[in-house]
Structure 1
Amino acid sequence: MDTQSREVNLDWIPASGFQLRKAGVQFDAARVDGDDGRRLADLLETMTGGDPGPVVIEDYARRSVYFLLPAGSTSHRPWPPGVTRLNSGPSHVSYVPVPALRGRTWPLSWRFPPSGPGRFVHPLLLLNAAALLLK
Structure 2
Amino acid sequence: MNTPKSELKLEWIPASGFQLRKAGVQFDAVRVDGDEGRRLAFLLEAITGGEPGPVVTEANGRRAVYFLVPAGSTLSKSWPAGATPLNAAVGRISYVPIPALTGRTWPLAWYFPPTAPDRFVHTLLLLNAVSALLG
In which range does the TM-score fall when normalised by the shorter chain? Answer: over 0.9
Number of the residue aligned with 1:133: 133
* Residues 82-111 of structure 1: per-residue CA shift (max 9 Å, x gap): 000100133010000000000000000000
- Report the alpha carbon displacement of residue 9 of structure 1 after superposing the two structures with TM: 3.4
- Report the alpha carbon displacement of residue 4 of structure 1 after superposing the two structures with TM: 5.2
Q: Give identity over the alignment, percent.
A: 68
Runs of 4+ in 1 over 3 A off after TM superposition: 3-9
Q: Equivalent residues in 2 for 1:1-135 (5 A)?
A: 7-135=7-135
Deviates more, 1:50-59 or 1:83-92: 83-92
Number of equivalent positions: 133
- Report the alpha carbon displacement of residue 8 of structure 1 after superposing the two structures with TM: 3.4
> What is the SS of the residue equivalent to 1:79?
coil
Equivalent residues of 2:80, 2:131 under 8 A apart: yes
Residue type of the partner of 1:123?
T
Residue type of the partner of 1:53?
G
Equivalent residues of 2:54, 2:120 under 8 A apart: yes
TM, length-normalised to structure 2: 0.94
Deviates more, 1:106-115 or 1:84-93: 84-93
Q: Alpha carbon RMSD of aligned pairs, Å?
A: 1.4
Residue 127 to residue 30, structure 1, CA distance change in 2 (3 Å)? same
Report the Cα distance in structure 2 between the residues aligned to 1:4 and 1:88, rounded to whole angstroms: 30
Equivalent residues of 1:80, 1:134 under 8 A apart: yes
* Residues 50-90 of structure 1: per-residue CA shift (max 9 Å, x gap): 00000000000100000000000001111111000100133
Gaps of 5+ in 1: none
- Report the alpha carbon displacement of residue 28 of structure 1 after superposing the two structures with TM: 0.1
Report the Cα distance in structure 2 between the residues aligned to 1:128 and 1:22, rounded to whole angstroms: 25
